[in-house]
Amino acid sequence: MNSPRRLLSRLRNLRAHGSAPLSALVQLVASELVSEVCSIYVQRPGDILELAATEGLNPDAVGHTRLRVGEGIVGLCAATGAVMNLPDAQNHPAFAYRPETGEEPFASLLAVPVRRSGRTLGVLVVQNRTPRNFADPEIDDLETVAMLLAEMLSGDGATDGSPEGLAATVPRTFTGTPLMSGIAVGPIVLLRAVRPIVRLLADDPGAEQDRLDQAVDRMQRGLEDLFADVPNNGGAADVNASREVLEAYRLVASDAGWLRRVADVIRGGTTAEAAVQRVASELHDRMRRISDPYLRERLADMEDLANRLLTSLTGEAPRAPIPEGAILLARRLGPAELLDWHARGIAGAAVEEASPAGHAAILARALGIPAIGGLRGMLDSAEQGDDAVVDADDGQFLLRPETEVRQAYTRAQEARNAKYAELATWRGRPAATADGVELKLMLNVGLSLELPQLERTGADGIGLFRTEIAMLARGSVADVAEQAAIYSRVLDEAGDKPVIFRTLDLGADKLLPGTVSGEENPAMGWRSLRVGLDRPALLRRQLRALLLAAGGRDLSVMFPMVATVVEFRAAKALLLAEAKRVRPSPGTLRIGTMLEVPALMWQLPQLVKEADFISIGSNDLLQFLFAADRGTPSLYDRYDFLSQPVLDLIEQLVVAAKSACVPVSVCGEAASRPLEALVLAALGVTTLSMPASGILPIKAMFAQVDLQSFRSVLTAIRRSGGFGLREPLATWAREQTLIT
- Residue 17 is a catalytic residue: no
Order of strands, sheet of 396-399, starting from the edge strand that comes earlier in the sequence: 172-175, 396-399, 387-391, 183-190, 327-330, 348-351, 371-373, 177-180
Question: Cβ(192)–Cβ(412) under 8 Å?
Answer: no
Element (H, E) at 238: helix 236-240
Q: How far apart are CA 676 and CA 383, in angstroms?
A: 42
Q: Which residues contact 79 (CB under 8 A, 6 or more apart)?
A: 69, 70, 120
Q: How far apart are CA 536 and CA 543, in angstroms?
A: 10
CA-nearest of 337, 349, 364, 333 to 223 is 337
C-alpha dihedral, 290 to 291 to 293 to 297, nearest 10°: 10
Active site residue: 38, 77, 342, 667, which one?
667
- Residue 359 is a catalytic residue: yes
Cis status, amide bond into 196, omega within 30 of 0: no
Q: How far apart are CA 39 and CA 47, in angstroms?
A: 18
Q: How far apart are CA 568 and CA 539, in angstroms?
A: 13
Tell me how far the alpha carbon of residue 585 is from its chain's centroid: 39
Q: How far apart are CA 242 and CA 17, in angstroms?
A: 53
146-184 burial: b if 16+ Cβ within 10 Å, else e:
bbbbbbbbbeeebbbbeeeeeeeeeebebebbbbbbbbb
Q: How far apart are CA 266 and CA 207, in angstroms?
A: 10
Active site residue: 64, 284, 359, 661, which one?
359
Q: How far apart are CA 100 and CA 50, in angstroms?
A: 13
Q: State the DSSP code for 643.
A: B
CA-nearest of 425, 177, 212 to 310 is 212
Q: Which residues pair with 127 in a beta bridge?
A: 37, 109
**Residue 19's CB: how many other CB atoms inside 10 A?**
8
Element (H, E) at 453: helix 453-457
- Catalytic site positions: 359, 667
